[in-house]
Amino acid sequence: MHLPWRDLTLPLGPGAGPGISTSLLREEAGELARLAAGARVLEVGAAYGFSTIAMAQTARHIVSVDLPAGWVCSQSALVSGLSAYRVLDAVTVLGGSSFQVLPSLAESGEKFGLVFIDGDHAYDSVTQDARNAWALLDEDGVLACHDYLETCCCTDVKPALDTLFPEGPAYTLGSMAVYKK
């Protein structure tokens, strides 16, 4: 499966906004919104914010961790999209490496009902992000990881997650794997 990047809009929440560049499928975004409903959410890898906006329309609050402005995507584009869809107040954007931010959140005692990972897709990065994210989940929390079934550009995601979770995901949807604690 290959998920190409394209501009999509989200018809769900209080505000209709512009197209946001994403590789998520609409059904993946819908599932993320469902999983996020009423929950505190941690997102690792916001890119341009399509997944952030989808989850912010139903979540209690989102902490979104992505590399600082000037890397692959722009935080100004993320914030612009959050504003256009009127969900900016529902999101705290933390610029920095997930390798530093997630352990910091754990040290602060933070817990989340949903963690969505779509950050660095290298094997070691996926492993470290998933391991750190698992420790941040509520006792009945859910971990969702994008690009699990991607066969073109993100081929390290599935082997990394299969090694970390040999029992496999609870289910997959599109290219997303969902694990339940």
Full set of structural domains in the chain with CATH = 18-180 (3.40.50.150)
Q: What is the pTM of this model?
A: 0.92
**What burial class does residue 152 get, using C-beta atoms within 10 Å of its C-beta: 0-12 exposed, 13-18 middle, 19+ buried?**
exposed
Taking the C-alpha atoms of residue 140 and residue 100, their distance in angstroms, rounded to an integer, is 25
pLDDT per residue of the chain (181 residues) written in tens, 0 to 9: 667 766 777 765 555 678 888 889 999 999 999 999 999 999 999 988 999 999 999 999 999 998 765 455 667 888 889 999 999 999 999 988 999 999 999 999 999 999 999 998 999 999 999 999 999 999 999 999 999 998 888 899 999 999 999 999 999 999 999 999 9
